[in-house]
Amino acid sequence: MFSFPTPSVYQNPKCFVTYGTMSYPDANQLPTKVKPWSTLLSQDYVDLVLPEALLHLVKEKIVNDTSRIPSYYRVIMTLGQVLERDFFTHHIKIGNVMMLSEGKAGTDNVFSIKDGMADPPSWQPIPFIDGSCFQGKLVMYLDKETYERAGLVGKPHGVKGGRGLQPRWELSLIRVPAPSPDPITQHHPTKYTSNPALIQDLVIKIPPLSVPSTALVDQTRQELNDYATEIYEWISLVRLESPRVKLLDNIDPYLSTYAIPGDPSENNEGRLCKISWQGFISPDWVLNTLAELIKMLPPKAWFSLSTTPFSRVAIGYGADCTIMRPPSSPGEYVLWEIKGHE
């Protein structure tokens, strides 16, 4: 019988890289089943990096448009209150709410509610008798005592033999009766707004960002692996505003051995800007922002959009992801997904 290793913070996450093409987005029906669109889940941080010369093209709609600023609420609720008729029938059936509770799936009673847009393809909407269609999904991870008291049908979480000393039961609810009036006001909602933070005048050393043509014919994929690793590291340092990628950096090589990837003679100097949002941001907002960027920016302009999920999520589908459109490559993208253990 095989033993299952105990999840540990020391386990290394895995990085999955995708290089492909995407069609021009339709504002009325954004794709949700294909990459890179299907990768975007509820996020905690969103960073947009692009050349500063292109900032004027997106500033009016992405930064200054107050109607596009994402907002969310913090409420004080127990799991029992989520299951009560007023809240349960109004928000969960309609699918107009996304929630994430405090806690960790492996040790606490936690739940999450999603509208289904970025869920795995196996989560299909269910039609009701009245013709309405519900795409929301409530997922709960409960200990044995709470699961038995809830009186709901679920399944053990995790593979058999690897559920640990504190097994959890997973419950997924996607069908409920007709809606009732909005009951959220009785749960002391506190509104938060994710205002964008704009950082300009980042004088950066920019490596060649285009995917090498030789990397696409290399059967070993070693060259593509090197390219993906180096460019992802560079984008991450730009997001952190690290001095290592700035033009005037003269750190002692004894303290840092980092060097801009590529041939130094091919590296360019340029001004970049970074726009950041922080908060409980819905997949719809991220998808629409990506679509707007593709429409507003010139086809040959490059940009990167990075999202970072909450460190403790109720479902293990969240992943840190970065999407980059290489320069002079309209319709192409490079996608990095960093997936850790649950």
**Secondary structure (3-state) at 78:** coil
Kindly report the average pLDDT of the chain as a whole number. 75
Q: Residue 219: what pLDDT?
A: 73
- CA pair distance 181, 213, nearest whole angstrom: 58
How confident is the model over 7-15, as a mean pLDDT? 62
Q: Residue 3: what pLDDT?
A: 44
Smallest CA-to-CA distance from 339 within 110, 1, 13 is with 13
How confident is the model over 167-182, as a mean pLDDT? 54
Let me know: does 138 contact 113? Beta carbons within 8 Å: yes
Check pLDDT > 80 for residue 130. no
How confident is the model over 319-326, as a mean pLDDT? 89
Beta-carbon neighbour count of residue 261 at 10 Å?
17
Q: Sign of the C-alpha dihedral, residues 314, 319, 320, 321? A: negative
How confident is the model over 185-212, as a mean pLDDT? 86
Check pLDDT > 90 for residue 275. yes
Over the stretch 59-91, which tens digit does the pLDDT of each residue have?
888 888 888 888 877 877 776 777 676 776 666
- 3-state helix, strand, coil split of the chain in percent (to 5) is 25, 25, 45
Let me know: does 323 contact 305? Beta carbons within 8 Å: yes
Q: Sign of the C-alpha dihedral, residues 319, 325, 330, 332? A: negative
Structure tokens at 179: 């809606």
Check pLDDT > 60 for residue 212. yes
Upstream peptide bond of 36 is cis (omega within 30 degrees of 0): yes
Q: Residue 40: what pLDDT?
A: 73
- CA pair distance 40, 309, nearest whole angstrom: 9
Q: Residue 160: what pLDDT?
A: 55
- CA pair distance 15, 224, nearest whole angstrom: 13
Least confident of 44-58, 140-154, 202-216: 140-154
- The conformation of residue 7, written as its DSSP 8-state character, comes to P
Which residue did the predictor score with more confidence, 125 or 221?
221
Check pLDDT > 50 for residue 279. yes
Q: Residue 266: what pLDDT?
A: 73
Let me know: does 127 contact 133? Beta carbons within 8 Å: yes
Let me know: does 199 contact 205? Beta carbons within 8 Å: no
- End-to-end C-alpha distance for the chain, whole angstroms: 23
* pLDDT band, residue 341 (cuts 50/70/90): low
Which residue did the predictor score with more confidence, 340 or 312?
340
Which residue did the predictor score with more confidence, 24 or 317?
24
How confident is the model over 137-142, as a mean pLDDT? 73
Which residue did the predictor score with more confidence, 84 or 192?
192
Q: Residue 157: what pLDDT?
A: 66
- The conformation of residue 246, written as its DSSP 8-state character, comes to B
Query: Looking at the DSSP assignment, which residues form a beta bridge with residue 323?
Result: 305, 335
**Secondary structure (3-state) at 90:** helix
Beta-carbon neighbour count of residue 18 at 10 Å?
15
Check pLDDT > 50 for residue 191. yes
* E strand residue ranges, the chain: 14-21, 43-51, 71-74, 99-100, 110-114, 126-127, 133-134, 137-142, 155-156, 169-173, 190-193, 197-206, 268-281, 303-308, 320-325, 332-339
